Protein backbone atom coordinates (compact mmCIF):
# COMPACT_ATOMS: atom_id res chain seq x y z
CA UNK A 1 0.00 0.00 0.00
CA UNK A 2 1.17 3.52 -0.81
CA UNK A 3 0.09 6.46 1.35
CA UNK A 4 -0.03 10.07 0.27
CA UNK A 5 0.45 12.21 3.40
CA UNK A 6 0.06 15.99 3.21
CA UNK A 7 0.76 18.02 6.31
CA UNK A 8 -0.75 21.51 6.49
CA UNK A 9 -0.06 24.45 8.76
CA UNK A 10 -3.32 26.42 8.98
CA UNK A 11 -3.72 29.94 10.36
CA UNK A 12 -5.96 29.92 13.43
CA UNK A 13 -8.37 32.37 11.74
CA UNK A 14 -9.38 29.76 9.15
CA UNK A 15 -8.85 26.41 10.92
CA UNK A 16 -12.58 25.69 11.37
CA UNK A 17 -13.32 26.63 7.77
CA UNK A 18 -10.37 24.46 6.64
CA UNK A 19 -11.75 21.40 8.46
CA UNK A 20 -15.24 21.95 7.01
CA UNK A 21 -13.88 22.45 3.48
CA UNK A 22 -11.71 19.33 3.74
CA UNK A 23 -14.73 17.25 4.78
CA UNK A 24 -17.23 18.76 2.34
CA UNK A 25 -15.08 19.40 -0.76
CA UNK A 26 -11.48 18.21 -0.75
CA UNK A 27 -11.84 14.63 0.50
CA UNK A 28 -14.93 13.78 -1.61
CA UNK A 29 -13.21 15.16 -4.73
CA UNK A 30 -9.93 13.43 -3.85
CA UNK A 31 -11.57 10.00 -3.76
CA UNK A 32 -14.08 10.49 -6.58
CA UNK A 33 -12.06 8.80 -9.34
CA UNK A 34 -11.24 5.67 -7.31
CA UNK A 35 -7.44 5.91 -7.56
CA UNK A 36 -7.14 6.71 -3.84
CA UNK A 37 -9.28 5.61 -0.91
CA UNK A 38 -9.59 5.58 2.88
CA UNK A 39 -9.19 9.34 3.44
CA UNK A 40 -8.14 10.47 6.90
CA UNK A 41 -7.96 13.97 8.38
CA UNK A 42 -5.95 14.32 11.58
CA UNK A 43 -4.94 17.19 13.83
CA UNK A 44 -1.28 17.08 14.87
CA UNK A 45 -0.90 17.44 18.60
CA UNK A 46 1.48 19.99 20.11
CA UNK A 47 1.95 22.06 16.92
CA UNK A 48 0.03 25.27 17.39
CA UNK A 49 2.39 28.22 16.97
CA UNK A 50 0.01 30.75 15.41
CA UNK A 51 -2.25 28.08 13.97
CA UNK A 52 -3.00 24.41 13.80
CA UNK A 53 -1.38 21.53 11.93
CA UNK A 54 -3.37 18.88 10.13
CA UNK A 55 -2.44 15.78 8.15
CA UNK A 56 -4.48 14.36 5.28
CA UNK A 57 -3.77 10.77 4.28
CA UNK A 58 -5.00 8.90 1.22
CA UNK A 59 -4.23 5.29 0.30
CA UNK A 60 -3.39 3.92 -3.15
CA UNK A 61 -2.72 0.38 -4.27
CA UNK A 62 0.37 1.38 -6.27
CA UNK A 63 2.77 4.26 -6.83
CA UNK A 64 1.56 4.39 -10.45
CA UNK A 65 -2.03 4.98 -9.28
CA UNK A 66 -0.89 7.63 -6.83
CA UNK A 67 1.15 9.43 -9.47
CA UNK A 68 -1.84 9.31 -11.86
CA UNK A 69 -4.09 10.66 -9.09
CA UNK A 70 -1.62 13.47 -8.41
CA UNK A 71 -1.65 14.49 -12.08
CA UNK A 72 -5.42 14.17 -12.58
CA UNK A 73 -6.76 15.33 -9.21
CA UNK A 74 -4.08 16.28 -6.69
CA UNK A 75 -2.65 19.27 -8.53
CA UNK A 76 -6.10 20.78 -9.04
CA UNK A 77 -6.95 20.30 -5.37
CA UNK A 78 -3.67 21.93 -4.38
CA UNK A 79 -4.59 24.93 -6.52
CA UNK A 80 -8.07 24.99 -4.96
CA UNK A 81 -6.46 25.30 -1.51
CA UNK A 82 -4.34 28.22 -2.71
CA UNK A 83 -7.35 29.89 -4.33
CA UNK A 84 -9.51 29.51 -1.24
CA UNK A 85 -7.06 30.10 1.62
CA UNK A 86 -4.11 31.95 0.08
CA UNK A 87 -1.16 32.23 2.43
CA UNK A 88 -3.21 31.13 5.46
CA UNK A 89 -2.52 27.47 4.60
CA UNK A 90 0.85 25.94 3.71
CA UNK A 91 1.58 22.29 3.19
CA UNK A 92 3.99 19.64 2.01
CA UNK A 93 3.34 16.16 0.63
CA UNK A 94 5.20 12.88 0.99
CA UNK A 95 4.48 9.50 -0.61
CA UNK A 96 5.11 6.58 1.73
CA UNK A 97 5.18 2.82 1.24
CA UNK A 98 3.82 0.67 4.05
CA UNK A 99 6.23 -2.05 5.18
CA UNK A 100 4.51 -5.09 6.67
CA UNK A 101 5.60 -5.86 10.23
CA UNK A 102 6.70 -9.35 11.20
CA UNK A 103 5.85 -9.23 14.88
Name the residue among 64, 53, 55 with its Cα closest to residue 97.
64
pLDDT attached to residue 46: 81
pLDDT attached to residue 50: 77
pLDDT attached to residue 49: 73
Q: What is the pTM of this model?
A: 0.89
How many Å apart are CA 59 and CA 5, to the nearest integer?
A: 9
If phi > 0 it is left, if psi is from -120 to 50 it is alpha, else beta; for residue 46 that is: left
How many Å apart are CA 96 and CA 3, to the nearest integer?
A: 5
- Per-residue model confidence as pLDDT tens digits over 51-62: 899 999 999 999
Low-confidence ranges of the chain (pLDDT < 70): 47-48
Q: What is the mean pLDDT of the chain?
A: 93
Helix (H) / strand (E) containing 28: helix 27-31
Amino acid sequence: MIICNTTYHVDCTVSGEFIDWMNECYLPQATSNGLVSHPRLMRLMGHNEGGACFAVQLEATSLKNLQQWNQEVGKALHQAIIDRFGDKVAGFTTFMEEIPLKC
